[in-house]
């Protein structure tokens, strides 16, 4: 779902995401609110996202407090969108990889809820399954809200973006 939000941002800002050697991602640069934003979708497995995050942070000289990760979140209700600055990883292996490779957990997160599976044993399947037609409308709205959240973070900062996103939905 994070990739969907990044693809939406790229489409909104007419950016072609391209694979660049050494970045382990499809990436491109756009200007939003007079600021430069590097968009990227890792080409690694989700659980190895840190392999893409660390070189992206170095290449674009991004401090952890300005690095935004858009990801799905089991601990949030389906289609809920919440923002977070730093903190725990909620068992997300992709976030764990980013923390390990970047040596910090102080990056920003745009979390898109997918809800919990019926049992822990079904966690991987739950994350990898496609949403049904009935849920897709809500999920598409959540992806759009996540893309909006990234734009708000860039334009107004994390605190203002949190206030707006957390009170909208």
What fold is seen in the domain 2-168? Rossmann fold (3.40.50)
Instruction: Read off the tokens for 137.
Output: 């409308």
Give yes or no for residue 129 having a pLDDT over 60: no
pLDDT in tens, 26-44: 999 999 888 899 999 999 9
- DSSP calls for 1-20: -HHHHHHHHHHHTT---EE-
> So where are the chain's domains?
2-168
The pLDDT value given to residue 66:
95
157: Cβ–Cβ under 8 A, 6 or more apart, which residues? Answer: none
- Range 140-143, long-range pairs (CB < 8 A, 24+ positions): 141/79, 142/1, 142/78, 142/79, 142/80, 142/81, 142/112, 142/113, 143/1, 143/4, 143/5, 143/8, 143/112
The CA-based angle 123-65-35, given to 5 degrees, is: 110
Give yes or no for residue 122 having a pLDDT over 80: no
Residue that the structure tokens 């392999």 belong to: 51
Give yes or no for residue 16 having a pLDDT over 90: yes
166: Cβ–Cβ under 8 A, 6 or more apart, which residues? Answer: 82, 83
């Amino acid at each position: 779902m994070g990739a969907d939000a990044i693809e939406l941002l790229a489409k909104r800002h007419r950016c072609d995401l391209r694979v660049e050697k050494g970045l382990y991602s499809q990436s491109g640069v756009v200007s939003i609110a007079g600021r430069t934003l590097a968009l990227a979708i890792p080409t690694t497995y989700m659980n190895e996202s840190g392999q893409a995050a660390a070189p992206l942070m170095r290449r674009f000289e991004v401090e952890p407090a300005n690095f935004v990760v858009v990801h799905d979140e089991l601990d949030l209700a389906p289609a809920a969108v919440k923002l977070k600055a730093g903190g725990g990883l909620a068992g997300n292996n992709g976030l764990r990889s980013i923390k390990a490779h970047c040596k910090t957990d102080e990056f920003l997160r745009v979390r898109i809820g997918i809800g919990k599976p019926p049992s822990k044993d079904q966690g991987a399947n739950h994350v990898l399954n496609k949403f049904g037609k009935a849920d897709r409308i809500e999920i598409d709205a959540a992806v759009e809200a996540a893309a909006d959240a990234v734009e708000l973070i860039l334009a107004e900062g994390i605190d203002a973006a949190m206030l707006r996103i957390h009170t909208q939905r």
